[in-house]
Structure 1
């Protein structure tokens, strides 16, 4: 048999062999898109991206060898996020990682075909990402921050620290699709405890000082700062102003407490990005989105900063300290 005829026959055999075809698909270099809401110089965002890459490496993926990653940063700008979403979908990666509900919404508007894994998401059904959590109905799956009791638990813990509280405030961002639901849940939690909730929506960094001044002027005894790229990016200013005003504040992420916030209760961000890498691994190996259910937080972390507590004149109950995962002293 001539060499050319042999190669032709071999090629036909490979094409009709599913096992070989799958091996070829898995072994070729794959392309991962990654859309971050944050700015490129955001140190915390860099840690989360590093955790994602490390978990991929543990699963057998080597950057530059069997996968490449295209990262785009939204710089906390709605316009830039939508532009970056379009850029990523145009290069047609095998899968895209989304870092917030805002980036997921932008990607959903840009593509209905490329698999999207949300490292952080609000209520996926309420946000229109799927009709079914167990079997996603579109091209999106991921890991939610959504928990029916989360808002209530935050409020209860803040009330433990300030038991005389009659008025509390919530700083939130109405342009973030998941925070409308958060405000509703927080209002419900306040109502159950007989506490008046002062709603403080903000749209830009310039609104932050005015919102905090409103909380002080209307005698709010404490404040909940909802996690959004806007509040996180301006976290230093929010923390400093709350300390200056001696206003107890509940944040979401442990790194905010390490940066000086009184306390935080929310998901372990690094763990979410490691779990995201596991979903990406499965997608690259052929698993369909419908087979990857949305998952609720595997772990919630309570962090308390006693230095800040002393600075604002707050005594943290020993019962609350005993439940804390991390205490900064």
Structure 2
């Protein structure tokens, strides 16, 4: 004899089954992206230095991996320029007036301007390739404060490592020229960490601040005109002057003429360039900014998101060292992320 089942038991079972199906669907759809929604986010990008413009590409690539697909649920307004404060200020004002959902900005000086421009607005800022030490950019690494967070450029750490490697490659150097952009905010903190190391090694640092490439070329010409160029090596610290095409051409021409090795930031002009470069990989640094943006799009305040520090990236120009008759220690070649032959 078949036992009778009340109809409400059947309805309840169907209801539970439907509920489980809907819940599972929502769970799957919610896991398919990291915060991406039907909203189309608008990101303004101030790429304030073409030397590291690949930061933008790294950021976009990582955002796509997080589910933010350009042209579908996110758009980018990318403004590429060189080091120029009035231009930075003008671009930032336009982005804020356009009410973008986020500003990605680099390097340091542009980031400082972005913080100031966005103050008092609802536009969050993510900085990249920006030094935090001695710049007032953030309150702390764990709690950057305000409406800003980002990827820290480890300027002092890089400066010291650059000095150490230059000493390894040119151990007899006792007078090292240090050219840089006059008044740039992250210069002093780098010099502060290099000077004690130089003093301990018996090395004299000859600073050469310049406001423009033309001024740098003039200073180098004056140094050459003395008839006695008492310089054993050139050290590049992190700043925007030297990596520009005119300034790099001027310093390369000078160093070639007097057979002076260069190192710190990597570049080559007409076959004569740096022995090495220690820096941050722009693409990798850009990728680090994507999870920060994802958190902001999930309504987490930017100022509560801890700052991330980018890792160092070392390039060694083995061919350049051979041209100059310099030996590169095997351990340096092993440590290098890229060896140029």
Q: Where does structure 1 lack aligned partners over 5 or more consecutive residues?
A: 1-22
* Residues 205-216 of structure 1 mapped to structure 2, 5 A cutoff: 205-213=213-221
Cα deviation, residue 51, structure 1? 2.0
Could you tell me which residue of structure 2 aligns to residue 95 of structure 1? Answer: 102
Deviations 1:284-305 (A, max 9, x none): 12222133211222x2122111
* Equivalent residue in structure 2 for 1:294, among 303, 307, 314: 307
- Give the conservation status (yes or no) of the 8 Å contact 1:74–1:84: no
Cα deviation, residue 281, structure 1? 1.9
Cα deviation, residue 149, structure 1? 3.7
Residue aligned with 1:52, SS = helix
2 CA distance for matches of 1:89 and 1:254?
35
Residue aligned with 2:242, SS = helix
TM-score between the two structures when normalised by the length of structure 1: 0.82
Report the count of equivalent residues: 301
- Cα gap change, 1:179 to 1:117, in 2 (>3 Å): same
Could you tell me which residue of structure 2 aligns to residue 120 of structure 1? Answer: 129
- Give the conservation status (yes or no) of the 8 Å contact 1:116–1:141: yes
Q: Where does structure 2 lack aligned partners over 5 or more consecutive residues?
A: 1-33
- Cα gap change, 1:215 to 1:56, in 2 (>3 Å): farther
- Give the conservation status (yes or no) of the 8 Å contact 2:58–2:285: no
Tell whether 2:145 aligns with 1:134. no
- Give the conservation status (yes or no) of the 8 Å contact 1:37–1:229: no
Deviations 1:159-199 (A, max 9, x none): 11111111111111133211222222222321222211101
TM-score between the two structures when normalised by the length of structure 2: 0.79
2 CA distance for matches of 1:301 and 1:254?
14
Tell whether 2:256 aligns with 1:248. no
RMSD between aligned residues: 2.7
* Equivalent residue in structure 2 for 1:273, among 263, 266, 286: 286
Cα deviation, residue 253, structure 1? 5.1
- Cα gap change, 1:254 to 1:323, in 2 (>3 Å): farther
- Give the conservation status (yes or no) of the 8 Å contact 2:54–2:286: no
1 CA distance for matches of 2:215 and 2:127?
28
Residue aligned with 1:183, SS = helix
Could you tell me which residue of structure 2 aligns to residue 6 of structure 1? Answer: none
Deviations 1:230-272 (A, max 9, x none): 322226513454334322111235899x994211112122110
* Equivalent residue in structure 2 for 1:226, among 218, 237, 252: 237
Could you tell me which residue of structure 2 aligns to residue 80 of structure 1? Answer: 87
* Equivalent residue in structure 2 for 1:304, among 301, 305, 316: 316
- Give the conservation status (yes or no) of the 8 Å contact 2:133–2:186: no
- Give the conservation status (yes or no) of the 8 Å contact 2:106–2:129: yes
Tell whether 2:74 aligns with 1:67. yes
- Decide which moves more: 155-164 or 183-192: 183-192
Structure of larger gyration radius: 2
Residue aligned with 1:229, SS = coil
Could you tell me which residue of structure 1 aligns to residue 276 of structure 2? Answer: 263
- Give the conservation status (yes or no) of the 8 Å contact 1:243–1:308: no
Residue aligned with 1:310, SS = helix
- Cα gap change, 1:212 to 1:295, in 2 (>3 Å): farther
Residue aligned with 1:246, SS = coil
1 CA distance for matches of 2:317 and 2:253?
14
Could you tell me which residue of structure 1 aligns to residue 202 of structure 2? Answer: 194
- Decide which moves more: 97-106 or 166-175: 166-175
* Residues 137-148 of structure 1 mapped to structure 2, 5 A cutoff: 137-146=145-154, 148=156
- Cα gap change, 1:215 to 1:182, in 2 (>3 Å): farther
